[in-house]
Homo-oligomer: A and B are copies of this chain.
Amino acid sequence: MDYRRIKDQDKEQDAVHDDIESLRGKPLSGSANSMVMLGGSSSVQSKWKRKSAVTLALTVLTSSQAILIVWSKRAGKYEYSVTTANFLVEALKCAISLAALARIWRNEGVTEDNRLSTSWDEVSVYPIPAALYLIKNLLQYYIFAYVDAPGYQILKNLNIISTGILYRIILKKQLSEIQWAAFILLCAGCTTAQLNSTSDRVLQTPFQGWVMAIVMALLSGFAGVYTEAIIKKRPSRNINVQNFWLYVFGMAFNAMAILVQDFDAVMNKGFFHGYSLVTILMILNHALSGIAVSMVMKYADNIVKVYSTSVAMLLTAVLSVFLFGFHLSLAFFLGSTVVSVAIYMHSLGKLQR
């Protein structure tokens, strides 16, 4: 539902954007010039609206994703093979991108920007994020030799810092001093919000564990920043084409993961063994979240993505109080306060640049 709403909005605003772009191509008289300026300001506004809409969608989807995970855990252990579910997520995202494209082709015809066929040059970079995520996911099995699961949740907050650093280095975008301070606060605040009585064990993580956690954070940050670089490289290119190519390689890598990890299980028990309603909802949610991430990369950036998923984490905790009768800890309130100040500072830093 959310996704469709965004898609529609997206299309409307793409149309506005196209109008301005087509105007820019024409020789400008004085009045046309002022029209462009008017168009420019409404374009800024519509861009802001689109950015807000995709960010909101990502926050809501990520938050409900976590809720579904808690729900599925409460229902019992994972019965299905995770690799098949991951494959289906990629396949579903591919299908949705194709469906969106079909509609665009019907309405607007096939153009240079929305045609699916592509050059080797354009497509050659698309497997890289998928490959990076695959390596990260493989490492995930090994890190548990050094860190327990709650400790890993804590260490995952290193992603925030690695994303900030790689965003700066690779995309060469500046963050103001206040925004850097805000980013450190975001990391500290998220970690604080997740503190519990066993969290201190993470301080006993051996050296190898720290190295792996940092490598994983760098891989994850690099994959995110690299995806943004790919998607932003050609702004006029239709996002659904870009998504299609991203997800095709996602499918391929996940098919490989099925072969390596779960081939026997799939052969003996069947592809859909252990699937339940929650599993299907989770696949649906992951697919929509994935598309929302791509859109945030296209219309906003990795920094917005990090803030969005951080807020989703806090939102999940609050929702869990109502849904599962969870208790919020003092650490959660303190962490949320710090995250709120971080968001405020980030926006303040933006104004001052």
List the interface of chain A (C-beta within 8 A of B).
Answer: 154, 177-178, 181, 184-185, 188-189, 191-192, 195, 197, 199-200, 202-203, 327-331, 334-335, 337-338, 341, 344-345, 348
Docked complex Cα distance between A221 and B193 (Å):
28
Docked complex Cα distance between A250 and B211 (Å):
56
Which of these, B154, B185, B328, B329, contacts A338 with CB under 8 Å?
Answer: B185
Within the complex, the shortest CB–CB distance from A191 to chain B, in Å, comes to 6
Using known A-B contacts A330-B154, A330-B195, A331-B331, determine if residue A178 contacts B345 with beta carbons closer than 8 Å. Answer: yes
Within the complex, the shortest CB–CB distance from A116 to chain B, in Å, comes to 47
| Contact call B181/A338, Cβ cutoff below 8 A | no
Complex contacts, A331 vs chain B, CB 8 Å: 192, 195, 199-200, 331
| Contact call B330/A203, Cβ cutoff below 8 A | yes
Which of these, B181, B189, B199, B330, contacts A202 with CB under 8 Å?
Answer: B330
Docked complex Cα distance between A177 and B178 (Å):
12
Docked complex Cα distance between A91 and B70 (Å):
62
Complex contacts, A200 vs chain B, CB 8 Å: 327, 329-331
Q: Which of A185, A202, A335, A344 lies at the interface centre, i.e. has the most chain B CB atoms within 10 A of its CB?
A: A185
| Contact call A177/B348, Cβ cutoff below 8 A | yes
Which of these, B177, B185, B191, B197, contacts A185 with CB under 8 Å?
Answer: B185
Name A345's closest neighbour in chain B (CB-CB). Answer: B181
Which of these, B185, B191, B202, B348, contacts A341 with CB under 8 Å?
Answer: B185
Within the complex, the shortest CB–CB distance from A249 to chain B, in Å, comes to 38
Within the complex, the shortest CB–CB distance from A90 to chain B, in Å, comes to 36
Docked complex Cα distance between A200 and B328 (Å):
9
| Contact call A334/B191, Cβ cutoff below 8 A | yes
Q: Which of A191, A330, A345 lies at the interface centre, i.e. has the most chain B CB atoms within 10 A of its CB?
A: A330
Which of these, B178, B191, B335, B338, contacts A178 with CB under 8 Å?
Answer: B178
Complex contacts, A327 vs chain B, CB 8 Å: 200
Complex contacts, A328 vs chain B, CB 8 Å: 203
Using known A-B contacts A330-B195, A330-B203, determine if residue A184 contacts B341 with beta carbons closer than 8 Å. Answer: yes
| Contact call B178/A337, Cβ cutoff below 8 A | no
Name A184's closest neighbour in chain B (CB-CB). Answer: B341
Using known A-B contacts A192-B192, A195-B195, A197-B197, determine if residue A181 contacts B341 with beta carbons closer than 8 Å. Answer: yes
